[in-house]
Amino acid sequence: PSTDVQHHCARGKELQDAKHLDLERRARAKLNLKDREGRTALHRASERGHTAVALALAKAGADIHATDQMSKTPLHLAAQNGHESTVKALVHEEKKSLKNQTTVLHMAANEDDATLAQVLLRNGALVDTRDGRRKTALYHAVRHGNEKTATVLLKYVQKNLDGVVAALIDHGADVNSCNELGYTPMLLAAEMGNPALMALLLRVGAQINSVTQDGLTPLHLASQSGHTEAVAQLLEGKADIHVKDKQGRTALHCAAAQGEVSVIQLLLAAGSDANATEKEKKTPLHLAAMEGHTKAVSVLLAGKAKVGAKDMDGCSPLHHTARNGKERAAGVLLASGKTKNVDDKNVWRRTPLHLAAEHGHELLVGLLLENGAKINSMDNNKDTPLHCACRDGRVGTVQRLINWTNGERANLQATNNVNKTALQVAEAEETQAHQNISTLLKRKMFFVK
């Protein structure tokens, strides 16, 4: 009999529990009832910034991730209406209830909603929370090419990095170990320009001259990214300024290629060689000039960079500005007083004027002529700058050359090594530009006669 009573009691408890569960389920279902716009009570409370109500609903089981017809969650609505206290409360509630699930931060990353991501992170959302596939919000932002949100997330990753690394060190992690890309923590900190993290790593024995698989040191990485404070810290820590990467580039080459003027000044002051050459024999001045970094060109010239340095093709920095149409940088090189370099020839005996004419950089053609460039200089093929402009259909450049009257004039009768004049070179092509050039040359020859 006692057994029957026990069974009866147990059965009664089961029924009671089931009743409670059913009531709970029904209550939760009511909590998540949606209106015509697909919004729950939590949506409405969040939208209006009623923090206490929103929190009570969330604690009672209202779905924080319920979406309306516009795919907006309660957190979306609180954030877009500027209710930061509501955002903070819901983010805190989300953190308690979630493990390895998609958060609203993940949604923001997928949608490239940088503003929402910023508000969520500012109010305590964890940047490193992982979804069911163990992926962070940053992973999703990068995967979808969502640059704005990725930038926001990356800033918070960097902010948290000091604490993460400090914890790893406390647990005996090797500060000089590499990730799958061959980067040590020191290399990553330098590339991100994080002086606080760099100081921490250096204190616990990180190698200041560690290298990537491409031979880049922390100094290379900080220099090319323009992280002045990080560069100063590395120089103070006696980083080797003369180390070359696999392309033969020094940190000064890297800074010059990116036009990082403050970094260039720091490196020169620390004794970097302004005339160091990489594998193609280019100096930092070549790299700054070819990209048109005018201020960088000025600073390098002031640091004793040779304006007439030649690379493996015999090209000077001026050749590169001429080819790439970097008029202001060319102006700085020409103004350095070394105008004797204006007619420097490369291995094909081409002058900067040949290259400017070939690529149709009219203003540069004018600048070079004004600085004494020889208008009828011949290359290996006996082509003059006019031949080059005609061959490539550069109408404006041809006009500039044939109308030049200040000194020696363009020789319209000059023939190259296959006995062709500029007119014959133009007539060999049938485009409209070449026809226009032919007409220009014929008119000029008629008037010259």
Q: pLDDT digit string (tens) for 41-88?
A: 999 999 999 999 999 998 888 899 899 999 899 999 999 899 999 999
b/e sequence 100-124, b meaning 16+ C-beta within 10 Å: eebbbbbbbbbbbbbebbbbbbebe
285-321: pLDDT as tens digits: 999 999 999 999 999 999 999 999 999 999 999 999 9
pTM: 0.69
Distances (CA, A) of 240 to 56, 149, 176: 60, 36, 18
Contacts for 35 with CB less than 8 Å, ≥ 6 apart: none
Cα–Cα distance for residue pair 297/330, rounded to 1 Å: 9
Give the chain's domains with CATH numbers.
41-170 (1.25.40.20), 182-306 (1.25.40.20), 341-448 (1.25.40.20)
% of the chain with per-residue pLDDT over 70: 87
Sorting pLDDT into bands at 50, 70 and 90, what band is 220? very high
Q: What is the mean pLDDT of residues 14-19?
A: 52
Rg (CA), the chain: 34
135-185: pLDDT as tens digits: 778 778 877 888 888 788 877 776 666 665 666 666 666 788 887 677 888
DSSP 410: P
Cα–Cα distance for residue pair 322/290, rounded to 1 Å: 8
Nearest to 186 by CA among 226, 250, 239: 239
20-38: pLDDT as tens digits: 445 555 656 678 899 999 9
% of the chain with per-residue pLDDT over 90: 63
Return the amino acid letter for 309.
A
13 pLDDT above the threshold of 90: no
Sorting pLDDT into bands at 50, 70 and 90, what band is 5? very low
Return the amino acid letter for 51.
T
Cβ atoms 261, 227 nearer than 8 A: no
